[in-house]
Chains A and B, each alone.
Chain A
Amino acid sequence: MHNTTPPTTNNPFDIFVIGARKGFFIATNNLLPNVLMAYVIAEILNITGAMKLIGVAFGPVMGFFGLPGEAVTVLMTTWLSCSAGVGIAVSLFAKGLLTTTHITILMPALFLMASQIQYMGRLLGVADVPKKYWPFLMLVSIINSCIGMLVMRFFV
């Protein structure tokens, strides 16, 4: 997704502009469509009442991390796609279902368990990691996320 070749210019203004341009492309090509999709999904979950059910069902588990049950949708989505996960978090925040405290607790988990299905191919597959260890590595990421959320509870 990112162009990692070093810029050929030494002018700091040009370098900033190169980065800002990357930012614009990511924001418009990646973030915007994902946020839009996340808002639509959140709306569907709301209208059908599914969000309420999820909130009740996962309330106890997520409560352990200081989060409302609905926050589980953020984690499930980021596991599939980081941008979509952030999008869901943003839309739940806009709806008032998540507060700034909740967002702060979720922040490390949003990335530590991000896009795992995608990265299975792009990272584990490419690096030739024996498939036998893939489920274990996935578990490590989820454990990392849980520790991350617990640690953040003490900082918010």
Chain B
Amino acid sequence: MGVENQSSDEWKVGVGAYIALIFAVLFFSGLFMKVDGMAWLGALDFTTLAGKFGTMQDAKSTFVGSGGTSAKGGFLFALSLIPTVMLALGVLEIFSHYGAIRAAHKLLTPLLRPLLDIPGRTGLALITDLQSTDAGAALTKELYDEKQITKKELVIMAAWQYSGAGLINNYFAIGSALFASLTVPIIMPLVLMVVLKFVGAMFTRLVLNTLYKKDFVNA
């Protein structure tokens, strides 16, 4: 699969894609949760739509109960996590389908040269890494094999990808187990992590340009 072919057709970004991205951010932002007098906005809020388990009559705890330990405790607790994960990946699939990821790619591309000193065309490999570590790695290798990026650019890209690899999918698929325990909006740690990916890669750029300068003299 050539990077070029993919960027021409499949990666066109229309208004709809930006709307999908904005909706995705709002959906996981928690801004629409329990807005006074506008309860209907909850229909656009992840936590509200995740709902809650009922309790047995006259009891306080859900079917998970209280005081469960070890394998049995873990099993029942894990069961209670399944609906959140299903909802998270279900809506993520919709937002991706309508181009939220493509819009993010478009917004990301102009930042790459100034922040990381890597070409804008590496954006696809980076954004792919947010969804799938393996696909991102494959696209990166392809760029290097086709001599579209230098060895130094490869290491900077790897720094961006390696810390928090597969971030969006891991966060919503696995991290959703902890969403109910967060004291901040769900979207907030995700935004911070994307920013830190850049921080780490910028630090890598700095170190490669100083400590490892000799390695890239001929590159």
Which of B90, B145, B162 touches A23 (beta carbons < 8 Å)? B90
Residue numbers in A under 8 Å from B215 (CB-CB): 132
Tell me, yes or no, whether A22 is within 8 Å of chain B by CB. Answer: yes
From B28-36, B37-45, B110-118, B167-175, the one touching the partner chain is B167-175
Report the separation of the CA atoms of residues A28 and B140 in the bound assembly, to the nearest whole angstrom: 31
Interface residues of B in 130-146 (CB under 8 A from A): 131-138, 140-141, 144-145
CA distance A145 to B163 in the complex (A): 9
Are B135 and A4 interface neighbours, CB within 8 A? yes
A127 and B144 within 8 A (CB):
yes
CB atoms of B163 and A126 under 8 A apart:
no
A-B complex: 7 closest residue pairs judged by Cβ atoms: A19-B93, A39-B74, A23-B89, A20-B90, A23-B86, A141-B163, A35-B78
- B73-98 interface (Cβ within 8 A of A): 73-75, 77-79, 81-82, 85-94, 97
Contact (Cβ within 8 A) A107 B189 = yes
Question: Which residues of chain B have a CB within 8 Å of any CB of chain A?
Answer: 68-71, 73-75, 77-79, 81-82, 85-94, 97, 129, 131-138, 140-141, 144-145, 151, 154-155, 157-159, 161-167, 169-171, 173-175, 177-178, 181-184, 188-189, 192-193, 196-197, 199-201, 203-204, 207, 212, 215
Within residues 26 to 63 of chain A, which ones have a CB less than 8 A from any CB in chain B?
Answer: 26-28, 30-32, 35-40, 43
13 A–B contacts from the bound complex (CB under 8 Å): A4-B131, A15-B97, A23-B89, A100-B181, A104-B181, A108-B192, A114-B164, A124-B162, A127-B140, A129-B158, A136-B207, A140-B201, A151-B192
Question: How large, as a class, is the contact surface on chain A?
Answer: 35 or more
Q: How many A-B residue pairs have CB under 8 A?
A: 246
| A31-B81, A140-B200 as given contacts; A86 in contact with B162, CB under 8 Å | no
Residues of chain A lying within 8 A (CB to CB) of residue B91: 16, 19
- CB of B203 within 8 A of CB of A140, answer yes
- Interface residues in A106-123 (C-beta closer than 8 Å to B): 107-108, 110-116, 119, 122-123
